[in-house]
Amino acid sequence: MTSALLWTGVVLLGGVGAVCRFVVDKAVSARHTRGFPFGTLVVNLSGAVMLGFLGGLALNPHAALLAGTAFVGSYTTFSTWMLETQRLGEERQVWPAVGNIVVSVALGLAAAWFGVWLGTRI
Could you list the residues known to form a binding site, using ranges.
73, 76
Helices (H) and strands (E) in the chain, counts: 6, 0
Quote the CA–CA distance of 90 and 119 in Å, as a whole number: 40
Binding residues for Na(+): 73, 76
Q: How far is CA 80 from CA 20, 22, 38, 46, 66, in A?
A: 15, 12, 12, 15, 22
